[in-house]
Chains A and B, each alone.
Chain A
C-alpha cells in the first residue's frame, strides 16, 4: 500500500521546552493508526503538529512531517488552511463544542464546504444527504435541520465525522473522539469510523487513552510515554505481546471484562 503520511524524527517544543521527542512513523493509504498514552504523554501534540494546531507557543523544532510532497511544518498558514479539510480532516473530543450553537448543522456544513469549493445550496444538500445516508444515518434531512444541542453527544460526534468526510479527505485525524462518550455510544462512533474507512478508503490516525478503542479499530499502534515512542507495531502484536516494560505495565492496568 502507498504511504500517505510520514513522521521523521519529529521533536515538538512549547515555549522552547521539548515535549515530544524523536517520533517517527508512517501511515499507509486506508490504514488506521492508534496513538495511545496516558495524560501528558504528548499523544495529542503529535497529531496537532500535522494539523498546524500547535498554536503560537508550539513549534516543530526538528524532523519533518511529510504529506504527499508537502513538508507540513514548513507550510504557511494559508497553505495549511488549503490542506485542512479537503486533504486532512479532523475530529475532536467534544464535537458539540466544535459547532456554533445558534446555527443549524446543515448551515455550518454548507459554510465549511463553500470555503473549499463553489457549490450551490441545493447541490450541497443533495451531497450531504447522500453522504449521511452512506455512513449510516437514518434520517439525514432531520440532522441537517437540527441545531447541535438537539442532538445527543454520540450523534454530535457522528455528525462531526460526517462534517469532516464531506470534503472527502485522504486522512482523518481524530483526537480522543470517543472519550467523552458512554461505552454503548463509544461503540457506535468506533463503528462509524470503521464504516468511513470501508466506504471511502480514508486513512485514520486516532489518538486515545482508551486501549479498547485501539484494539477494536487500529491496524497499527504507537505507544507514547513522556513525549517519546515506547513501542510501535501491529496492533495485536503490541496489545497481546508487548515487548517494552511500560507497554506491559499499561496493558496489565487496563481493567478487562471477564465474560
Chain B
C-alpha cells in the first residue's frame, strides 16, 4: 500500500480586493505535497506570500481558489465542528509566543484547552499538561504561570506543548523561531527535532532564514511574489539555484 501525503495543496490562490484599488494576488496558484514524517520549508522575503499561504492551509484565511487536502480529507470549505476536527490533525506554532497565549489565562489553561475541548476531565488534563511541559523542557509548575511571567523562549516551548497536546500529525510553524535570540533559537529547534522523532510529526516550516531551513528541512519551496519559483532539497537549491531570485537570495546572505 502506498502512503498518501499528509497535506496536499492544489492551485491555492488568494486575491485581496480593496475598494478603489486593483485586486492583489498574494498567492498565485501554488501546489505542493507534504509526506508523512517529512519536514518541508517555505522561504521567501517579506510580502512573498508565505504567511498568506499558510493562513489558508490552517483556514485562518479563506482561499480564493484551490483545494487543501489534509490527510485525505478536503478541508478547503470546512466550518465549525468539522474544522475543529481538522485541527486534531493540524496544529500551529506562531512567531510571537507571548501573543499567542491569552494573557489572562495561565499557560496550563492554554496548553490544556484542546484536551478539555475533546472531553478529558480536569484531573486528566492537569496530568497531561505536566507531562507535556516536561516533554518540552519546562518544569511542571510552569502550568501556573502567566505568559508575561516567562521568557520568550520558555513561552515558545509552552506554545509547542500546546500544539502537540492533542497529538496532531502535522505541525505548522510560521516563523516559530524568528523572534528568538540565536542561542534560544537553537534550543527550540532542537526541541522540534526531538518531538518530530518522538511523535513522527510532519512539519511545515515557514521561515525567512535559508540557513535555518538548510539545517532543519528535508525539502524547501522558494516563494516569490506569490509563486513557487523553486523546489528541492535545501543543499541542492543552495548550491545550484536554478532561479534568478533564489540565486539573489542566497548571494545576499552575509
Residues of A within 8 A of B (CB): 38-39, 153, 182-187, 190, 209-213, 215-216, 249-250, 252-259
Known: A255-B209, A255-B212, A259-B238. A183 touches B183 (CB 8 A): no
Q: Are A257 and B210 in contact (CB under 8 A)?
A: yes
Contact B254 A187 (CB under 8 A): yes
Q: Are B254 and A256 in contact (CB under 8 A)?
A: no
Known interface pairs A183-B253, A216-B254; A253-B215 also in contact (CB < 8 Å): no
Residues B254 and A190 in contact, CB atoms below 8 Å apart: yes
Rounded to whole Å, the gap between the CB of A5 and the closest CB of chain B is 25
Identity of the chain B residue whose Cβ is nearest the Cβ of A153 in the assembled complex = B46
CB-based nearest A residue for B249: A184
Interface of B is mostly: helix
Contact with A along B161-193 (1 / 0, CB 8 A): 000000000000000000001111110000000
Cα A184 to Cα B249 in complex, Å, equals: 6
Q: Give B contacts to A, CB under 8 Å.
A: 45-46, 152, 181-186, 208-212, 214-215, 235, 238-239, 248-250, 252-254
A187 contacts B214, C-beta separation under 8 Å: no
A34 to chain B, nearest CB (A): 12
Cβ-closest chain B residue relative to A211: B182
Query: Taking CB as reference atom, which chain B residue is nearest A213?
Result: B254
Q: How far apart sit A38 and B184, CA to CA, in the bound complex (Å)?
A: 10
- Could you list 14 examples of A-B contacts with CB < 8 Å? A39-B152, A182-B208, A183-B208, A183-B252, A184-B252, A186-B252, A187-B252, A209-B182, A211-B182, A213-B254, A215-B254, A250-B182, A253-B186, A257-B250
> Which residues of A have CB within 8 Å of B186?
252-253
**A81 CA to B72 CA, complexed, in Å:** 66
Decide: A257 and B211 in contact? CB cutoff 8 A: yes
The docked-state distance in angstroms from the alpha carbon of A210 to that of B178 is: 12
A155-B250 Cα distance, complex, nearest whole Å:
21
State the CA gap A254–B152 with chains docked (Å): 18
Q: In the complex, which residues of chain B have a beta carbon less than 8 angstroms from the beta carbon of A182?
A: 45-46, 208
* B254 and A212 contact, CB distance less than 8 A: yes
A38–B181 Cα gap in the complex (Å)?
Answer: 6
User: How far is it, in angstroms, between the C-alpha of A182 and the C-alpha of B212 when the chains are bound?
Assistant: 15
**In the complex, which residues of chain A have a beta carbon less than 8 angstroms from the beta carbon of B254?**
183, 186-187, 190, 210, 212-213, 215-216
